[in-house]
Amino acid sequence: MENARCFANRFTDYKGALLVGQGVETVVPTVNAFIDTILKNVPLGPSDCDGGLYDGPAGAAYMLYHVSECAFFTYYRDAYLKIAKQIIDVSMAYVDGEKDKNMKAAFLLGGAGIYAVAAMVYKALGLADFVKPLTKFRSLWEVCSPINFLECGSDELFVGRAGYLCGALVLKQKLGIEILSKDQIQAICGAVVESGKQYALRKRKPSPLMYSYYGTEYLGAAHGLSSVLQMLLCYQDMLTEGDRDLVWQSVDFLMNQEQNCNWPAELGSVIERENELIHWCHGAPGVAYLFAKAYLINKKPQYLDTCIRSGELVWQKGLLKKGPGICHGVSGSAYVFLLLYRLTGNSKYIYRAQRFAEFLFTEEFKVGSCSITSVYSLFEGLSGTVCFLVDLLQPDQSEFPLFSVFV
């Protein structure tokens, strides 16, 4: 039976040789052409700034920043950074005027992400003014510290505390300076742990930490347990010993929720094989980053094995029909191979990422994919694809956009 969610993977697997024809001389012009299309089509006006980094114009600004940081694009660097600044300035003005302070603290969907990318772009341009958006980002820690600052759920990645922690991590990595003080980080991480403890106790959950978003107990990277735990692991040195134990217990709990190399979108549901979600947002391709982080910290082989099994499932069922993006599209699948390459050094994973890149240019993909709304955006559309194609040129430095594991 044909799978409704993915194309059949008919590629032969790695036999010891990488693909030729995906080198700098072909990819650089392809990326430049994509950027041209994106800039001609993405709405950039002051009234189009909704969606933040996820599917607003700010995501295109991040993509330009990412490309400009790649050594193969040195010639285009200044031009791309200047356009990135124009775009992010419009988004920043929009967010400055935002009345809802909670939306200002949102990372992927709101102000925190826009301020973070503005600081990166300004810094890359050599502007001392980068301190202004950075200061705005920093000031938001107070907004998201109260334990229930959002009614819908205060801890997930898109609008909650995990997102804010993620933003601080990416900023520290890109700017090379401390973003938050130890006290600030401890206040936020402490709130995440306390919130998860309270929820798990109140709802009698089998995991020591559990969270919900709009009433659903998600497990995946988008709104779920895995990215919350991933961020806590990133700051595990700052946690109390007791809290750190709860985090690791919860990591192992989530590891045991695996069903045939995948995770259900929400806690306790059973995966139907023919209709399973294998997306960065929901499922193995997003959960894998948590176990990658766990493995990088303590080198326990079971965490790496879990990542490898996720990668096998993605190779079989990751040619998704929901577009070229990183959230629930082919580039998001391929990023798992780049992650596995960085964890293992095995060139098989570069080959697999190359095959997925190749598939993006086939008629089968163009004709058989469902239409998506944000065609040019960072998470659903072509801006994310551009980040992936650039990372495939430099796999040793590749990372899923704005979701650092190797910090």
Query: Residues 206-232, buried b or exposed e (16+ Cβ, 10 A)?
Result: ebbbbbbbeeebbbbbbbbbbbbbbbb
Q: Min. distance of Cβ 330 from Zn ion in angstroms?
A: 12
Token output for 363: 């008629």
Least distance to Zn ion from the beta carbon of 373, Å? 12
Judged by CB, which is closer to Zn ion: 113, or 133? Answer: 113
Taking CB atoms within 8 Å and a gap of at least 24, the contacts of 134-140 are 134/171, 134/175, 134/179, 136/96, 136/111, 137/112, 137/167, 137/168, 137/171, 137/179, 138/179, 138/180, 140/104, 140/105, 140/111, 140/112, 140/115, 140/164
User: Which residue, 267 or 281, is less far from Zn ion as judged by CB?
Assistant: 281
- Token pair 């012009």: residue: 29
Window of 59-67, 233-241, 275-283, 294-302 that interacts with Zn ion by CB under 5 A: 275-283
Nearer to Zn ion, 94 or 356 (CB): 356
**Segment contacting Zn ion (CB under 5 A): 106-114, 150-158, 241-249, 272-280?**
272-280
Pick the stretch among 158-166, 227-235, 281-289, 384-392 that binds Zn ion (CB under 5 A).
281-289
Question: What are residue 287's DSSP bridge partners?
Answer: none
Please state, in angstroms and rounded to a whole number, the distance separating the CA atoms of residues 137 and 105: 8
Does 161 bind Zn ion (CB under 5 A)? Our answer is no
Give the contact letters, 353-392, x = binds to Zn ion (CB under 5 A), - = no: ----------------------------------------
279 is in an annotated binding site: no
Least distance from Zn ion to the Cβ atom of residue 223, Å: 10
Q: Which of residues 316-335 bind Zn ion (CB under 5 A)?
A: 327-328
CA dihedral sign of residues 360, 362, 368, 374: positive
Q: 256-260: long-range contacts (C-beta < 8 A, 24 or more apart)?
A: 257/219, 258/306, 258/309, 260/313
Cβ-proximal residues to 301 (8 Å cutoff; 6+ apart), any chain: none
Left, alpha or beta for 34 (phi > 0: left; psi -120 to 50: alpha)? Answer: alpha
Q: How far is the CB of 230 from Zn ion (least distance, A)?
A: 17
Comparing CB distances to Zn ion, the nearer of 281 and 339 is: 281
- Cβ distance to Zn ion smaller for residue 205 or 317: 317
Return the residue nearest Zn ion (CB atom): 281
Q: Which is nearer to Zn ion, 327 or 378 (CB)?
A: 327
Q: How far is the CB of 117 from Zn ion (least distance, A)?
A: 20
370 is in an annotated binding site: no
Which residue in 297, 291, 284 sits closest to 235, CA to CA?
Answer: 297
Closer residue to Zn ion (CB): 196 or 381 = 381
CA distances from residue 99 to 96, 103, 138 in whole angstroms, order as listed: 8, 8, 18
Q: How far is the CB of 277 from Zn ion (least distance, A)?
A: 9
Q: Which one of the spans 51-59, 185-193, 250-258, 276-284 is the region binding Zn ion (CB under 5 A)?
A: 276-284
**Closest approach of Zn ion to the CB of residue 335, in Å:** 13
Closest listed residue to residue 219, CA positions, set 313, 317, 285, 166: 285
Is residue 328 a known part of a binding site? Answer: yes
CA 76 vs CA 122, 272, 381, 385, 401: distances in Å: 16, 47, 22, 18, 20
User: How many residues contact Zn ion, by CB under 5 A?
Assistant: 4
- Looking at the Cβ atoms of 18 and 214, the one nearer to Zn ion is 214
Distance CA 123, CA 125 (A): 5
Tell me the window of 106-114, 166-174, 278-286, 389-397 that interacts with Zn ion (CB under 5 A).
278-286
Rg of the chain in Å (alpha carbons): 20
Span from 99-107, 196-204, 271-279, 284-292 in contact with Zn ion (CB under 5 A): 271-279
Separation between Cα atoms, residue 344 and residue 176, nearest integer Å: 26
CB of 279 to Zn ion, least distance (A): 5
Alpha-carbon distance of 91 to 78, in angstroms, equals 20
Instruction: Give the nearest distance from C-beta 235 to Zn ion in angstroms.
Output: 25
281 scored as a contact of Zn ion (CB under 5 A): yes
Nearer to Zn ion, 161 or 279 (CB): 279
Angle at alpha carbon of residue 107, lines to 104 and 112, rounded to 5°: 45
Kindly state whether residue 277 participates in binding Zn ion, applying the rule CB under 5 A.
no
Binding site listing for Zn(2+): 281, 327-328
Q: Which residues bind Zn ion (CB under 5 A)?
A: 279, 281, 327-328
